[in-house]
Structure formats: C-alpha cells, structure tokens
Chain A
Amino acid sequence: MRKNKRFAGVALLAAVGIFATACGSDTKTATSGTTGGTTATAGTTGGTMSSTPLNLGIAFDTGGRGDGTFNDSAARGGDKAKTELGAKLDELEATGDQDRKPNLETLTKNGDNPVIAVGFLFGDDLKTVATANPKTTYGIIDSVVDAPNVKSLVFAEEQGSFLVGAAAALKSKTGHIGFIGGQEIDLIKKFQAGYAAGAMAVNPKIVIDVKYLGAAGDNAAWGSPDKAKEIANGWYAAGADIIYTAAGGSGAGTIDAAVASGKWAIGVDSDQYVLATPDQQKHILTSMIKRVDVAVFETAKAVQSGDTKGGVQVFDLKVDGVGYATSGGYLDDVKDKLEAFKKQIIDGTIKVPTAP
C-alpha cells in the first residue's frame, strides 16, 4: 500500500510533489479533525457516565483514519470509546516508516493509556517502547508482541472466512468459486484456508481457484486493483461466479470485474456494501467483517476497568470479532444455514483450519 505510492509525483519537482501530496491529504485529515472536534463534545457528555477518566491513544499506520478499510475500522472503535466510555481520544497517523516509534512515544508521553498500534508493522517498535514504559498498557492489532504490558489483538479471520466460503458455495450456481489474496503471508493464508473449508463443508466437490497478488513483503499487492480485476475477469469468464478477495485496496478490482461480468464479489475487513456505489452493491454478496473496532473498544474498556495485563486476545466468532455482512439481503435464503455453521464453530463442533 505504501510502495506503489513511492514514486507518485516523481516527475515533478520535489517541492511541488510534496506540496501536492500534502494538499491532497490535507483535506481528508482536516475533515476528520473537524469530526473529531464534534465528537469530542459528545465524549465530554459521555464522560459523566464513566468512572475512571480514560485517555485512549491510537497510532494509525499510513493511510490513517479515512482509508475506507482497516484504519477506519480502528477509528470507529476509538469513536465508540469516546461516546460510550467517555474516553479522551488522541490520534496519530504515521506518514512514513520513521514515524511509527516516535508516534508511540509521543502518545505515551502525552499520558495516553492505553495506546493502541494499528497494524503489524508496529511490532518491533512497540516492543521497544513498551519495554521502556512499563506503566502504560499497549495494544497491537494483527501482531503478537511478547511484553507484560502489551495486549496482542489478533483475529480468527479463518472463522469469518469459513462463513463467507459457505455462503459462496450455497449461492454458487456453477460450483466454481475463487479466492484472491494480497501478499502470500500466513495472515492471508488464514483467510484462504477458512474460505476453502467453509465452501467444502457445503459442497465437497466445489472448484476453488486461488491466486495471490504478490509475495511476502510486496506492499504493492495491497494496492493493485488492476491485477485483481484481470484475474477476476479471467475466472468469471472460465465459469466462476463468486470471488472472495482479501487484498486491501486491490479488492476494488474484483468488484469492478463482478459488475462487468454480472457475477458476485465478496468483500473483506469492513462491510464493503455500505461503502460501494449502487451499481456495485448489486454485486457484493457479502463481506467478511473483521471487527478491529471491537478490539480497540474492548481494550479501552478493559484498561478502564483496571485490566492492564498483556497477553494474546483472539477476536473470534464467539465475541463477534469476525463475522459476515448481510447488507443487501442476498444471503436471506441461506442465513439459517450460515447461523448453524456459526454455532458449530463457536461450540467447537467445527474446527476451522488456519493454513491451507
């Protein structure tokens, strides 16, 4: 997501380039700043309800609030903590790799507790900062940092993916579906494994095409909608009728292809139906929802009630940390079956694999 932007504006003079980028993102951040201001008032009112004052610090990765997926989900959790827990919310967005550690330190020094780092790239820096500041509690999304004051917040993406896989198999007319992943890393393989298991649980003979957009470390994989579109077009033409894409911003390409071919796409992380245009909405079957907001909110709540110890917390179906979206009503006819699967996963009858 970062590297494809690396050379944007390279042909321009450096100064002009900086100016343009700054202006571009300025509008976005300025708007969120204003929204932050308004909700702050709401937060103060909410403050009367809570017992302990809470300063929640969120360190976003590049993209920050307003990215439409991952960071935005964390931001929703922060907003909820503001209104429901009366938390004072401080946000810092990394604008580059050099910002991550200073941002964690700045929030810590500012008195924020807990401080939540959004994204696994914070891992190494958080370990250093957390060790140096044992009195602050930290949270990190998608990564496990072994320190007594760090809550590692990871998700059972395979469980949510199982349900959208089952939904795909139930809705597929051709018995042929697809999965497009971003980087070929363990994190995304969890999505693939769950999706395949869910589809097979419904139809053991189903055909599943699998493709990754990039190798581990290839950040362009998260921002290549053109590549995803090409792959999706090919699969749709070959008879697939539903494709699930877990590749950040690249997923938009699959949705485009689905619109063009009149087939289905499955979204990821946020409920992409809500963010889509009316045209696209007709082709978004469901989305695998990863509730980063729940993780942020629950961590804030835990710290407020005095639970400051570290450890790994898995957000799974049981705590609604993952799930599937029903916007559009396309799953109404199979919802009972999906709920049955959900129950079986929660009670342990079905064990969802985490690796394909």
Chain B
Amino acid sequence: MVEETRIPVADGVGRGLSKLMTPKLHNSKNGLITTASSIAAVLLALVISGIMLKLTGKDPIAAYRKMIETGFQSDKMLEALQRATPLMLSAVAVAIGFKMNLFNIGVEGQYLFAALIAAVVGAAVSLPAPLHVAFILVVAMAAGAFWAGIAAVLKVKRGVNEVIATIMLNYVALSVIQWLFDSFFRDSSKSDLNVKTKILPRSAWMPDLASGRLSSMFIVALVMVFAYWIVVFKSRFGFRLRASGLNSVAARTAGISSNRMIFTALIISGAVAGLVAMPSVLGDIHAYGQGVPDGLGFAGIAVALLGRNHPVGIIAAAMLYGFLDATAGVLQIQHVPSSIIDVIKAIIVLTVVIVNEAVTRWMNRRTAARTSMALQAATPVGALA
C-alpha cells in the first residue's frame, strides 16, 4: 500500500478536530455531565447573542419571546422538524466518518449528485407506489456512496488525504451535475424559467406526515439515526470502526484492516449523505432543479459537532437548528436581521465545543487529583520515611 501523503495544515486541522470529535466520556454519569454542559453552552450562546442583539439596538428579550411564542405554534414546530430532517441525515453521514477519524467534508457534493441521479432514474422507471419510493431511496444512497467512493479509492489506493479529496470533489460534483443536468436531464418540454428534471410520477411522491408541512422522510431520518446508533455503537463492525478511529495502529495490530474500514466508512457515509435532499426531491419539488436546497452538507458538519456524534445529540442539535431556522423569519419581520440566527447557531457550536473541552479538562484534573489523594491515603505515612 502507498504511504499516506500527509498535508501538514490539513493534518493539523484534522488532529485538532479529531480531538474535539472523539468522545472521551462514556459512562452514564459523564454522559449526564456532557448533556448538562451542552445545555449550559446553549444558554451561554443565547446570552452572548442577546448582548449582540442589544449592541445592535434590538431588544433581546422581546426577540427571544417572539421566537418562543411562534416557535411553539404547531405549524412552526412542524416546520422545525421538516428543516431538521435533512440536517439529521447530513449529520449522521458526517458522524460516521468522524467516528473513524475521517473527515467527510464532501457530504454537500454527495447529496447533490445523489439528488440529480435519483430524480432522473426515478422518473425513468415505473413501479407501484411504495416500491417506487424505496427504489429511489436506494438509488440515491448508491449514488451518494459512489461519489464518496471516489474519495475512498483515492485515500486507500493513493493515500490522498480525504479532507482534500472530499472538498475538491464538491467542486467536481457541482460541475458534473451542471453538465449532466444541462446536456441530458433538463426537461426542455416545459418553458418554465424554474428549470427541472422530468417530474416524478405520482407513485414516487413521498406522502407527507402532515400535509405540506412534514415529509415522511422525517421517519426515515429517525430510522437512519437509530441505525447509526446500532451499527456504530452496538455492532462488531462499529467497535472496529471506533477502534480504528481511536487508535489506528492498535486496531491494525489487533487485526483490523484499516483500509477496508476506511473504504467501508466512507461508502456508508456517502450512502446516508445521498438521502439528504430526498425530502425536497420526493416530497416537495418531485424533481431535481433549482429549488433543491444547498449548504446542507456543511450545516451537517456543525450539527454533528454540536451533537458530539451521539445519536441523541444529533437529533437534539438538528431540532435546535431547525427551530432556529424556522423562527428566523418571524424575527426578520420584527426588524431583527435573520443573519442573527446564523450568528446564534455559530456561537452555539463554538460554546458547546469550548464548554465541553473545559469540562473534560476539569474532570481529568479532578480524576487525577482524586487518584493521587487516594494513593496518598493508601500509602502508610511511615513508609515514606
């Protein structure tokens, strides 16, 4: 196998990130502390954002009250869940890589590529209703896996750092999508300015859980998070994955093929990424076109980071993001710039990371102190003399 070409900067970033991403807390008491510190971090972020609001001449209390008032209306809550759906999928895709110390920054390109392929293939076949939807989901996963697979092959065969490969493949994906879309897949039979691929047949339309508000993809996303939990935390494969991520040398010594793990992890990550745009493709636009949202791949990185790669954390973080996005509009009407919401989201990520790191260090120190105290107590005073 080719020696891995390490790029110093990316590697430095990678190590820094992996330090943050690697869960150090495992038992339930520590889990409680993690949860508590995350909640504290969110509150701290709200205080900091409040100060920012105040500085820009807005009333933070009124703004937060308005967010909560509208955010808990039923339609806004459904909207928050709808917005959380792709974020959960994207975050799971990212987290699978993180668990193995792989940074799949390419979820963005993977899901957009998958969306186009799934929409085109889906429109070309005819199947009975539930099968048709399932078929498209499988195609989307395969397309996402394929695109991530390019980075995986580059990494395994040629030792290309996956951070660089996945980032660059985002750009490649964008150009490839544009070319495929324009040369082959654009439905030119319609003169609509809002260009799309051929509209999917009715049998491929995913039913809504709440009409026009919440796609059934929400359920699929929850299932994917659950599957992530089972596979990564409860299976032998997951153990190997995490072991390789924590210490690849030790894992290799224990007989775990690191190349195979890298390949499998990136493929699975890409497959989940392939589902990110499905709420739009199957539930809203019923095609691929300009309305397919972008940026969800990057948002997923933040959500995975915020959720500490934990299934429950990812769900909570995605919902928090969904809630904030859903209430941004109401704030705008109150003349609070909606970019404040983006600032709040970013501050939350930063405070969670910082608070968690601080808590971990504090706990490590406490453990060390207790250990030394226990050692001292156990050692007879006379023995030292």
| Residues of A bordering B, CB below 8 Å | 2-3, 6-7, 10-11, 13-19, 21-23, 25-26, 29-30, 33-34, 36-37, 90-93, 95-100, 102-103, 105-107, 110, 120-121, 123-124, 128, 132, 142-143, 185-187, 215-220
B193 touches which one: A10, A36, A106, A185 (CB < 8 A)? A185
**Contact across chains for A19 and B193 when beta carbons are under 8 A apart:** no
Residues of B within 8 A of A216 (CB): 182, 186, 195
Given A120-B193, A121-B290, A217-B186, A106–B329 Cβ distance below 8 Å? yes
Query: What are the interface flags for B41-76 relative to A under an 8 Å C-beta threshold, 1 for contact and 0 otherwise?
Result: 000000000000000110000000000000000010
**Contact across chains for A95 and B193 when beta carbons are under 8 A apart:** no
A186 to B195, CA, bound (A): 11
Judged by a CB distance under 8 angstroms, whether B124 is at the interface is: no
A107 to B334, CA, bound (A): 12
Given A99-B329, A106-B329, A10–B105 Cβ distance below 8 Å? yes
A97 touches which one: B212, B293, B325, B343 (CB < 8 A)? B293
**Contact across chains for A18 and B333 when beta carbons are under 8 A apart:** no
Distance of B191 from chain A, by nearest CB (Å):
6
**Contact across chains for A13 and B182 when beta carbons are under 8 A apart:** no
Among A7, A93, A99, A218, the one with the most B-chain Cβ atoms within 10 Å of its Cβ is A7
A97 to B328, CA, bound (A): 14
A7 touches which one: B170, B336, B340 (CB < 8 A)? B170
**Contact across chains for A15 and B333 when beta carbons are under 8 A apart:** no
**Contact across chains for A21 and B350 when beta carbons are under 8 A apart:** no
Closest to B300 in A: A14
A216 to B192, CA, bound (A): 10
Residues of A within 8 A of B292 (CB): 97
Closest to B289 in A: A217
Distance of B91 from chain A, by nearest CB (Å):
11
**Contact across chains for B193 and A143 when beta carbons are under 8 A apart:** yes
A215 to B181, CA, bound (A): 10
**Contact across chains for A14 and B301 when beta carbons are under 8 A apart:** yes
Given A123-B194, A216-B195, A15–B305 Cβ distance below 8 Å? yes
Residues of A within 8 A of B194 (CB): 120-121, 123-124, 143
Judged by a CB distance under 8 angstroms, whether B342 is at the interface is: yes
Q: Could you tell me the dominant secondary structure of chain A's interface residues?
A: helix
Given A187-B193, A217-B181, A33–B350 Cβ distance below 8 Å? no
A215 to B179, CA, bound (A): 9
**Contact across chains for A18 and B191 when beta carbons are under 8 A apart:** no
A216 to B123, CA, bound (A): 20
**Contact across chains for B291 and A124 when beta carbons are under 8 A apart:** yes
Residues of A within 8 A of B178 (CB): 215, 217-218, 220
**Contact across chains for A33 and B337 when beta carbons are under 8 A apart:** yes
Residues of B within 8 A of A37 (CB): 335
A98 to B79, CA, bound (A): 10
Judged by a CB distance under 8 angstroms, whether B5 is at the interface is: no
Residues of B within 8 A of A102 (CB): 79, 326, 329
Extra A-B contacts (11), CB below 8 Å, given A22-B339, A97-B294, A124-B291: A7-B171, A10-B167, A16-B346, A19-B342, A21-B342, A25-B339, A96-B293, A97-B291, A98-B325, A99-B325, A217-B178
Q: What are 8 A-B contacts defined by CB distance under 8 Å? A: A18-B298, A21-B339, A91-B332, A95-B338, A98-B83, A121-B290, A217-B178, A217-B182
Given A22-B343, A142-B193, A14–B298 Cβ distance below 8 Å? yes
A3 touches which one: B174, B186, B329, B332 (CB < 8 A)? B174
A106 to B353, CA, bound (A): 33
Closest to A33 in B: B335
A107 to B285, CA, bound (A): 22
A134 to B101, CA, bound (A): 53
Query: What are the interface flags for B158-195 relative to A under an 8 Å C-beta threshold, 1 for contact and 0 otherwise?
Result: 00000000010011001000100110001000011111
Given A29-B338, A124-B285, A2–B294 Cβ distance below 8 Å? yes
Among B191, B333, B349, the one with the most A-chain Cβ atoms within 10 Å of its Cβ is B333
A148 to B76, CA, bound (A): 27
In the A-B complex, the 5 residue pairs with the closest CB atoms? A22-B342, A29-B337, A19-B346, A14-B301, A15-B349
Residues of A within 8 A of B345 (CB): 18, 22
Distance of A260 from chain B, by nearest CB (Å):
29
Distance of B347 from chain A, by nearest CB (Å):
8
A14 to B349, CA, bound (A): 9
A34 to B58, CA, bound (A): 10
**Contact across chains for A98 and B293 when beta carbons are under 8 A apart:** yes
Residues of B within 8 A of A110 (CB): 333
**Contact across chains for A123 and B192 when beta carbons are under 8 A apart:** yes
Judged by a CB distance under 8 angstroms, whether B8 is at the interface is: no
**Contact across chains for B333 and A26 when beta carbons are under 8 A apart:** no
Among B17, B75, B332, the one with the most A-chain Cβ atoms within 10 Å of its Cβ is B332
Distance of A131 from chain B, by nearest CB (Å):
10
